[in-house]
Amino acid sequence: MLTRSDILEVVKPLFQNRITFGVIIFVIWMAFFDEDNVFVRINLSRKVSELQEETAQLQSTIERDRRKMEELSSDRSQLEKFAREEYFMKKNDEVIFIVK
């Protein structure tokens, strides 16, 4: 079992050297007390990965919509079908029954 004197024997030489002491204090400060500490960095990297996933999903949605637009602008029958299904449009001599 480590006693207090054993721990002091290991730690005391580290703190006798001013440069080592300064580096230890600097690392502790940067890791826990700085504005961009370890916890903030972890949260930010998690947020970045979530945003990258969302960007990929939105890119696929944009591509799907772009293909649908091209299809609708090139084929008149598809445009009519889309207008009837999405906006309940009809021709003058038609009657539409909406069943849900």
Residue pLDDT, tens place only, 6-21: 888 887 877 777 888 8
Q: Which residue has the higher pLDDT, 57 or 25?
A: 57
| pLDDT value at 3 more than 90 | no
Could you give the CA distance from residue 62 to residue 75 in angstroms, rounded to a whole number? 20
- Cβ pair 69, 76 in contact under 8 A: no
Alpha-carbon distance of 16 to 42, in angstroms, equals 33
Residues 39, 98: Cα–Cα separation, whole Å = 55
d(CA 8, CA 2): 10
Chain centroid to Cα 38, Å, comes to 18
Chain Cα centroid distance, residue 91: 46
User: What are φ and ψ of residue 5, in 5° steps?
Assistant: -70, -35
Report how far residue 53's alpha carbon sits from residue 66's, in angstroms, rounded to the nearest whole number: 20
Q: What is the pLDDT of residues 35-88, one digit of tens each?
A: 888 888 899 999 999 999 999 999 999 999 999 999 989 988 888 888 888 888
Residue 5 pLDDT level (bands cut at 50, 70, 90): confident
Q: Given this model, what pLDDT does residue 90 score?
A: 83
